[in-house]
Amino acid sequence: MKIHLQSKVEDVSEAQFGKHVYVDIPKRWQEARDYCRDKYTDLSPFTTPLDQERLKNATMEMTKLVWIGLYRDNEQMWRWTGEELATNIQTWADGEPKDNEKFVKTWEEALEHCRETHTDLTSLNSETEQRLALSEIQHDHITERVWIGLRDQEHQCPLRKRCGALTKEGHWENWDCEEKVHFICY
- Render pLDDT for 67-92 as a digit per residue (tens, 0 to 9): 888 887 776 667 888 877 765 554 44
How many CB atoms are closer than 10 A to CB 130?
16
Total-model pTM? 0.48
| Ordered domains of the chain (ranges, CATH) | 1-90 (3.10.100.10), 97-186 (3.10.100.10)
Please name the residue ranges forming H helices in the chain.
7-17, 29-39, 49-59, 107-117, 127-136
pLDDT tens string 89-142: 544 445 544 544 557 899 999 999 888 877 889 989 889 889 888 888 887 778
Opening angle at CA 44, ends 31 and 111, nearest 5: 40
**182 half-sphere exposure, CB direction, 13 A CA radius:** 20
Type of residue numbered 152: D
pLDDT for 20 equals: 74
Q: Is the predicted pLDDT of residue 1 greater than 90, yes or no? A: no
